[in-house]
């Protein structure tokens, strides 16, 4: 086994652990239900809200307005970045801090651009290394 690949898996799993801990206090906003399902498969059990459309964003913000911080984990493509900027602006206008580091680190650590493929990416990488399931 390549130690570089093992270190990559370890970094991804540390990222997931950090996200799990942060999600104990702070809700996560994702784009769609597949994103939410991927996070659930990874064992993230706290509040996760989907915004299928920006029209549902108001309802989501109303639900999380009692939180001081929110993790926004939209995809890293053009659409996801546009959604991220709109969500961030609306949350900050309500005095809610947006935690950016998990979104930023998604590309850097996992080398993927979307949340929904995170679980399958990790599962495949672990299988290729002969490691246990996620």
| pLDDT tens column, 43-87 | 999 999 999 755 678 888 888 888 999 999 999 999 999 999 999
131 located within any domain:
no
Structural domains of the chain, count: 1
| pLDDT tens column, 13-52 | 899 999 999 999 999 999 999 999 999 999 999 999 999 7
Q: What's the length of the chain?
A: 134
132 located within any domain:
no
38 located within any domain:
yes
Query: What is the rounded distance in angstroms from the CA atom of residue 81 to the CA atom of residue 9?
Result: 25
Question: Which range marks the domain in which residue 82 is found?
Answer: 3-126
Q: Compute the mean pLDDT over every residue in the chain, rounded to the nearest whole number.
A: 88
61 located within any domain:
yes
Q: What is the pLDDT of residue 134?
A: 56
Q: How distant, in Å, are the alpha carbons of 82, 97, 115 from that of 77? A: 9, 22, 11
| pLDDT tens column, 105-124 | 888 887 788 898 888 888 88
Neighbours of 26 (CB within 10 A): 21
134 located within any domain:
no
Q: What is the CATH number of the domain that holds 92?
A: 3.40.1360.10
Q: What is the model's pTM?
A: 0.89
43 located within any domain:
yes
Residue 28, H or E segment: strand 28-30
According to DSSP, the residues that pair with 13 across neighbouring strands are: none
108 located within any domain:
yes
């Amino acid at each position: 086994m390549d130690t570089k690949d093992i270190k990559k898996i370890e970094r991804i799993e540390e990222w997931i652990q950090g996200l799990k801990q942060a999600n104990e206090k702070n809700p996560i906003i994702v784009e769609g239900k597949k994103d939410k399902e991927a996070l659930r498969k990874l064992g993230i059990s706290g509040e996760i809200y989907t915004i299928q459309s920006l029209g549902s964003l108001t309802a989501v913000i109303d639900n999380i307005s009692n939180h001081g911080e929110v993790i926004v984990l939209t995809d890293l493509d053009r659409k996801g970045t546009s959604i991220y900027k709109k969500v961030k602006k609306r949350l900050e206008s309500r005095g809610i801090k947006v935690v950016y580091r998990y979104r930023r680190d998604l590309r850097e650590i996992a080398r993927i651009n979307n949340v929904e493929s995170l679980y399958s990416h990790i599962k495949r990488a672990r299988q290729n290394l002969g490691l246990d399931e996620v």
